[in-house]
Structure 1
Amino acid sequence: MQTIDLRDLQPNRAELARLIPRAKTDVSAASVVSAQLIADVRAEGEAALLAQAERLDGVRPTHIRVHSDEIARAMAKLDPTVRAALEESIVRVREASKAQIPAGSVTTLAPGAEVIQRWQPIRRVGLYVPGGKAVYPSSVVMNVVPAQVAGVASIALASPAQKQFDGAVHPTILGAAGLLGIDEVYAMGGAGAIGAFAYGVPALSLDPVQLITGPGNVYVAAAKRLVLGVTGIDSEAGPTEILVIADETADPLLVAADLISQAEHDELAAAVLVTTSEELADAVLAAVERLALTTHHAARVREALDGQQSAVVLVSDLAAAAAFSNAYGPEHLEIQTDQPGVVLDLIENAGAIFLGAHSPVSLGDYMAGSNHVLPTGGQSLFSSGLGAYTFLRPQQVVRYTRDALEAVEERLVALARAEDLPGHGDAVSARFPA
């Protein structure tokens, strides 16, 4: 891992942004390919999805829409330990998601003058679960549960066809869907799947959705950008990131293990340590060297850690560490310091935050109850992770009595005339003939 020493610098936020280690992933560069895949699905429907699976996933599914009995069989065949883990994760994510439902309210501005705030669930959503370098039944849980808690009535799920299962969706993905009562599942992936969700495929009885959520590769991210406006999206999730803020009290072995845990996702995964202690930095680098040799995905981890997106950053104090993190806007932020709460008070931007040595990112990936579908690539500066609120739309309902409207008529008419829109005022005055 490279080392970036900022101890003798006092960079402002713009300068920090230039110093941040990032992978070179250009979503716009994938747009041409993704646009063609989407266009093919719009024109040819199921035939295009089958051809894309054969070309991109290496297998031609026997059918795109998964039969309900396949889902039931996959659920019945789940490894008992995996099933128990999924069921526990479902319980925890459901409880945490319930806290994300805002309460409705009524604001009374004058007698008979009310503005009602209500939160309406989106009726139909499409949830994408990737299936490239790993299998993600946990992402089924993270996408489906908050949608169900929000009250979404119609949920469709897509995951790529798997060559090792003769073009079917991975059985563990299907089993997780079954546990959650999802019976509309499609063996389709990549940009084509996003296009199918956005525009629908009549031959598959796949109706268009109002919102698409879930992570994917750069082509999925590009496709989500392209269909935005036709449908809603959560974010353009890219390669995973972990940033650890640590001081001399942190355990270097635990920090190293956490960095490696996210590096094993992808060669473009980012692992960043920001520390005030040069001694800790050296110890973490040594531990990373040892652990990277024996971890299961050693080659992938090594490439991620040696990439330009990963680094050890030395800073003069914890305030500088927080400033660097805020400029970075990490997907996952761990705070392993003597007083993590003090550092937390300085943090503005992060997808999810993990406090203390016993709250690793891996906990959030599976069992914390928090959601692991989070903004990457600095998007936490302006967006949040997936939650029940993602599937809700705030609506204002205005309710005035005749007397309440009459009380504001004169002022309303004055504003309408000031804007040279007298018809607006006339529409109110018409209710009060002379």
Structure 2
Amino acid sequence: MAIPIVFASLSEPKSYQSFLKMAKADLSEATAKILPILAAVHLEGDTALRKFTNQFDGIALESITLDPQSIKTKIPNNVAEAFLVAKANIETFHKAQMRQDWSIKVDGNTLGIKYTPVPSLAVYAPGGTALYPSSVLMGTIPAIIAGVKDIQLVTPPQKEGLPEILIWLAQILGIKRIVTVGGAQGIAAAAYGTESVPKSEFIVGPGNVYVAAAKSYLSGQGLIGIDSPAGPSEVCIIADETANPMWIACDMLSQAEHGEDSSAILLTTSKMLAEAVSKELEIAFQIRPKRLAMKQKAIYENSGILVFSKMEECIAFSNLLAPEHLEIQTKDPYFEFASIEHAGSVFLGRYSPVAMGDYISGTNHILPTAGGSRIYSSLGVDTFLKRVTYQEVTKESLNKLYPYVKLMSELEGLDEEHGTSVKVRYEENI
């Protein structure tokens, strides 16, 4: 068996249409399963959280929330150093995103924008084999910079106790509490609030399909803000004949390592590169067998190599795909990057694998998936800032503009009150 290699053309949609659907996530089945859980948490609060934690995790909770500052932790020095370097890089990049209030004069009036943070945030951290402590940094640091005051960490309990790295991260980040409830019930606890868990206005972080379904559903109900609707992890790689096929194979497998539903797509104009990458994938399966079945399913069933006749078509297809991660490994990656319109995060050049952004470079790895980058952005400081517009109208401007307000309010049938609210001020001044 080998990864599919397709000779594609944008003028023949049948040659590539199936690849556009690979990374899409259907949450309908998961949503049906989590709705009773959400309803129970809403109605029963802590009682439901204890029941579901015992049912799904096999753990009888002594306490639903923990104060991370009250727990002693001892992290190996080399691990602490790695996370502290990542923390510093993430902070530097995200501090540069901070918005400034501003105002402008328009027709004699002062109009402006004041930025205010969302009041509270829950950062979800998966447990078990899907433990991603780096996501705690990614979800929390932009919020702190934005000025979010109340941040809680939501994570499933573990029979051997919470991972020490999560507690330590909560300590160094100043997270107020850890909610030891996972899955859809953990998301519901943060969205609705319970006797023990304060309500959060915003929820971010990766999770399984049930976590994704809960976030999407509750967001659709207007109960919470979320980073973006989540689907399986994905990478798209645009490469020419100068790229290293073994490196590309490694980058594709780094996404396949996330799960069997992950997607890795290579776009190239070189048949020789396509065949070489296919061979390198087979070699990798032989020499790196960890999670082999999962990686093979992701590569063989959800991934592919598309060979186009022109680099312009590779770029056009990538914009159609709107991938979560986009790598550009070409002779002049900035040239191709100039035409990229839709991508969660872009990695330019030979020495920029996705894993650098996942962990240490400083950009955020919480990204829109499943074509979401056509309308959503990567998580950042902006995610947690609201724009409050304001205006101060002068007496002179009101007098000048009232005739237009009169006409417009009459046209809309709102002149009796809308129009009058301006008219009474106008008449006072004439």
Cα distance in structure 2, aligned partners of 1:140 and 1:278: 41
- Counterpart residue type for residue 72 of structure 2: R
Q: What is the match of residue 6 of structure 2?
A: 5
Distance in 1 (CA, whole Å) between partners of 2:72 and 2:294 is 34
Could you tell me whether the CA contact under 8 Å between 1:234 and 1:386 is conserved in 2? Answer: yes
| Structure 2 residue aligned with 1:223 | 214
2:134 equivalent among 106, 131, 138: 138
Counterpart residue number, 2:404 = 411
CA RMSD of aligned residues (A): 1.8
Q: Contact 2:323 / 2:371 at 8 angstroms: preserved in 1?
A: yes
Retained in 2: the 8 A contact 1:117–1:395?
yes
Cα contact 1:266–1:301 (8 A) shared by 2: yes
* C-alpha spacing 1:417/1:16, structure 2 compared with 1 (3 Å): farther
> Share of identical aligned residues, percent?
36
- Which digits, 9 at most, give the CA deviation of each residue in 1:62-104, with x for residues without a partner? 322123355x423xx1121111111111111111111222222
Gaps of 5+ in 1: none
Instruction: Name the residue aligned to 2:72.
Output: 73
Matching residue of 2:32: 32
Q: Is the 8 A contact 2:251 2:354 kept in 1?
A: yes
Distance 2:24 2:87 in 1: 35
Alpha-carbon shift at residue 57 of structure 1 (Å)? 2.5
In the TM superposition, what is the alpha-carbon distance from 1:243 to its structure 2 partner? 0.9
User: 1:299: how far off?
Assistant: 2.6
Once the two structures are superposed, residues 20-77 of structure 1 have per-residue CA deviations (whole angstroms, 9 ceiling, x without a partner) of 251564112211111111111112222222222222223333322123355x423xx1
Instruction: Determine if contact 2:69/2:171 at 8 Å carries over to the other structure.
Output: no
Q: Which aligned pairs between 1:329-344 and structure 2 lie closer than 5 A?
A: 329-344=322-337
Question: Do the aligned partners of 1:159 and 1:189 also contact (CA within 8 Å) in 2?
Answer: yes
Q: Are positions 1:94 and 2:91 aligned together?
A: yes
- For 1:420, the equivalent position in structure 2 comes to 413
Q: Is the 8 A contact 2:9 2:313 kept in 1?
A: no
State whether structure 2 residue 249 is matched by structure 1 residue 256: yes
Q: Give the aligned length.
A: 423
Determine helix, strand or coil for the equivalent of 2:357. Answer: helix
C-alpha separation in 2, matches of 1:292 and 1:144: 36
- The runs of 4+ residues in structure 1 deviating greater than 4 Å are 14-19
- Encode CA deviations 1:337-376: one digit per residue, 9 max, x unaligned: 1111111011111100000011110000001100000011
- Describe how 1:10-25 pairs up with structure 2 within 5 A: 10-11=11-12, 16-23=16-23, 25=25
Distance 2:107 2:130 in 1: 58
Report the AA paired with residue 84 of structure 2.
Answer: E
Any conservation in 2 of the 1:161–1:188 contact (CA below 8 Å)? yes
Distance 2:322 2:24 in 1: 17
Instruction: Give a deviation string over 1:378-400, Cα, whole Å, max 9, x none.
Output: 11111111101000011110111
- Letter of the 1:405 counterpart: L
Residue 62, structure 1, aligned to residue 62, structure 2:
yes
Q: Is the 8 A contact 2:235 2:324 kept in 1?
A: yes
Deviations 1:226-279 (A, max 9, x none): 211012111122221111111110001111111111111111111111111111
Using the alignment, how far apart are the partners of 1:334 and 1:399 within structure 2?
47
Q: Which ranges in structure 2 are unaligned for 5 or more consecutive residues?
A: none
- CA separation of 1:16 and 1:284: change in aligned 2, threshold 3 A: closer
Question: In 2, are the aligned partners of 1:214 and 1:237 still within 8 Å (CA)?
Answer: no
Deviation readout 1:123-146 (Å, 9 max, x if unpaired) = 111111122432211000000000
For residue 427 of structure 1, report the CA deviation from its aligned partner: 0.4
Deviation at 1:108, TM superposition (A): 0.2
Q: Could you tell me whether the CA contact under 8 Å between 1:59 and 1:161 is conserved in 2?
A: yes
CA distance, structure 2, for counterparts of residue 424 and residue 17 of structure 1 = 52
Q: Distance in 1 between matches of 2:342 and 2:33?
A: 32
Aligned partners of 1:214, 1:250: CA distance in 2, in Å? 33
* SS of residue paired to 2:422: helix
Change (3 A) 1:312 1:18: closer
Cα gap change, 1:356 to 1:23, in 2 (>3 Å):
closer
Q: 1:328/1:9 Cα in 2 relative to 1: closer, same or farther (>3 Å)?
A: closer
- Aligned residues of 1:45 and 1:201 also touching (Cα < 8 A): yes
The amino acid that maps onto 1:386 is: L
Structure 2 counterpart of 1:362, which letter?
A
Deviation at 1:193, TM superposition (A): 1.0
CA distance in 2, matches of 1:99, 1:11: 43
Superposition deviation, residue 8 in structure 1: 5.0
Instruction: State whether residues 274 and 321 of structure 1, in contact with CA within 8 Å, keep that contact through their aligned partners in structure 2.
Output: yes
Residues 275 and 132 of structure 1, relative CA distance in 2, 3 Å threshold: farther
Displacement of 1:7 in angstroms is 3.9
In 2, the alpha carbon distance for the partners of 1:388 and 1:17 equals 35
In 1, the alpha carbon distance for the partners of 2:112 and 2:395 equals 17
Structure 1 match to 2:285: 292
Question: 3-state SS of the aligned residue for 1:303?
Answer: helix
What is the aligned partner in structure 2 of residue 192 from structure 1?
185
Q: What is the CA distance between 1:174 and its match in structure 2?
A: 1.4
Moved more, 309-318 or 245-254: 309-318
Once the two structures are superposed, the pairs formed by residues 295-306 of structure 1 within 5 Å of their partners are 295=288, 296-306=290-300
CA distance in 2, matches of 1:264, 1:8: 29
Alignment partner, residue 425 of structure 2 = 431
Aligned match of 1:49: 49
Match of 1:161 in 2: 157
The equivalent residue for 2:107 is 110
SS at match of 1:431: helix
